Amino acid sequence: MQCRIISIGDELLIGDTVNTNASWMAQTFTEAGIEVSRIDTIKDELPVIKEVTREALASDSIVITTGGLGPTHDDVTKQAVAELFDSELIVHEETLSFIKKIFAKRNIPFSESNYRQAEVPADCEVLLNTQGTAPGLWFERDGKVLAVLPGVPYEMKHLVNTYILPRLRKTLLGTEVRRSYYLLTSGIGESTLSDEVIGELDSYLNTGVSVAYLPGPEGTRIRIRGRAPSESALEERLQPLIGHIREKAGAYIVGEGKDLRLAEAVGTVLLQEQLTIAVAESCTGGSVADALTDIPGSSRYVKGGVIAYDNEVKIAQLEVNEDVLKEVGAVSKQVALQMARGIARRLGTDIGVSTTGIAGPGGGTKAKPVGLVWIGFWNKDQHFALRAQFTKDRLANKKRTTAVVMEMTRRVTSNIEEMPYGLKKQPA
């Protein structure tokens, strides 16, 4: 069945807010098997809301609106819906006491305009919103469903997860089972992955099974999506495909999960092997440490690091040899090697990684252009550096270098010899 999303809000048309609500709903509904046919973004204007909602109900079986449920005079969605159904607004007692309680708890005086928030069209079902003050509304008529939701993201998501999805699943989807698997890969380009490593998948792509490659800053996520009449039928359809992809792309697969982050996968491997790590950063300026420590519990394997932006700091804090630095410069294989070993020794960790490069946009020369980065690695068995060349975009260079450092660490720790993006280990 098809669904129309109507996003109501002047701020969306002025460009002050990006319509992430609609994307989240589109993604969530698609995963649940509900196809979104169209997303309309319109103003907080009563006649427009009425017209677009009427037109949507004529063509789609499910219509979801967000926005315009606040207490100000700009919020006209409820009035528009009431008029659309030849209804009127009445005070919903349960909602009224709920709102009054919240205001009392926060010591805010309850004013006239707050009564508006407890008003709902007669003949609708009220969906109590425990995450905010505006209730959601549910209308079912002639095989059509209209859900009217608040625009505040966590309130909208709460209502979609608590009421909308379960009801839609029950009413319309029968017993069909749907699932999406996500495999995160890193250190390989999207086209190389799809065309050369994994290749043609036609024999695995039968009814209800699809594969998509979703590129991102940390790597390409492979989404395998399937639907079938039952759990066992779904497994039967998906497992051969997933197995084939894992077999082909093995070394490049960092882990599974829609929101899996590279830093999390690295942390998992370090914990498994009971290894600790320290970072010595120059051009990445803290980005690597920041990424690693975003993961809860990372203090178990990240001991710390040094941001050696100034060459003096490289010498004094990381035991980089002053003569070598003067001779070959900070952005060099030798300095990267020394920084990686230096930080591991200083902080007493199993692994030391380093970055030294030219982040840009300025600072480059013919011999050492902007975007050149040396990445060092040290542990008791290996000591090498990778030479990478990025572009002129400072922020992208930081992000991409950070991803390479993490993927390099994951691979070495997992005993994978090949380095990210075909970069070659240059041993000490």
The site for a second copy (CB under 8 A) is made up of: 12-20, 22-30, 35-43, 48, 212, 214, 279, 281, 284-294, 296-299, 302-310, 312-313, 316-317, 346-348, 359-362, 394-395, 398
Closest CA to 304 of 236, 351, 243: 351
CB of 19 to a second copy, least distance (A): 5
Biggest alpha carbon–alpha carbon distance for the chain:
85
Q: At what angle do helices 394-413 and 262-273 cross, to 10 degrees?
A: 30
**343: its two tokens:** 């930080």
Q: Give whichever of 95 and 185 is closer to a second copy, judged by the CB atom.
A: 185
CA distance 300 to 82: 57
Do 144 and 61 touch, CB atoms closer than 8 A? yes
CB of 112 to a second copy, least distance (A): 19
CB of 424 to a second copy, least distance (A): 23
CB of 314 to a second copy, least distance (A): 8
CA distance 202 to 169: 30
Closest CA to 368 of 355, 378, 383, 357: 357
Closest CA to 80 of 64, 68, 95: 68
Instruction: Determine the residue type at 215.
Output: P
Q: Which residues pair with 89 in a beta bridge?
A: 121
Q: Following DSSP, what letter does each residue of 367-426 receive, concatenated?
A: SS-TTEEEEEEE-SS-EEEEEEE--S-HHHHHHHHHHHHHHHHHHHHTT--SPGGGPPPE
Q: Give whichever of 122 and 395 is closer to a second copy, judged by the CB atom.
A: 395
CB of 97 to a second copy, least distance (A): 26
CB of 427 to a second copy, least distance (A): 27
Do 222 and 152 touch, CB atoms closer than 8 A? no
DSSP alpha helix (H) spans, 173-229: 190-191
CB of 294 to a second copy, least distance (A): 6
Q: Up-side HSE of residue 230: CA atoms within 13 Å toward CB? A: 2
Beta strands 302-307; 277-281: pairing state: parallel
CB of 35 to a second copy, least distance (A): 8
Q: Give whichever of 14 and 367 is closer to a second copy, judged by the CB atom.
A: 14
The dihedrals phi and psi of 62, each to the nearest 5 degrees, come to -125, 130
Do 314 and 340 touch, CB atoms closer than 8 A? no
Q: How far is CA 201 from CA 31, 57, 197, 248, 346, in A?
A: 22, 39, 11, 11, 50
Q: Give whichever of 47 and 243 is closer to a second copy, judged by the CB atom.
A: 47
Q: Give whichever of 188 and 277 is closer to a second copy, judged by the CB atom.
A: 277
Instruction: Give, in degrees to the nearest 5, the angle at Cα 355 between 354 and 358.
Output: 165
Q: Give whichever of 137 and 295 is closer to a second copy, judged by the CB atom.
A: 295
Q: Up-side HSE of residue 68: CA atoms within 13 Å toward CB? A: 29
CB of 87 to a second copy, least distance (A): 26
Q: Give whichever of 218 and 281 is closer to a second copy, judged by the CB atom.
A: 281
Q: Which residues pair with 362 in a beta bridge?
A: none
Q: Give whichever of 95 and 282 is closer to a second copy, judged by the CB atom.
A: 282
Whether the CA torsion 156, 161, 163, 164 is positive or negative: it is: positive
Q: Give whichever of 244 and 261 is closer to a second copy, judged by the CB atom.
A: 261
CB of 33 to a second copy, least distance (A): 12
CA distance 91 to 306: 61
Q: Give whichever of 98 and 301 is closer to a second copy, judged by the CB atom.
A: 301
Q: Give whichever of 188 and 288 is closer to a second copy, judged by the CB atom.
A: 288
CB of 99 to a second copy, least distance (A): 19
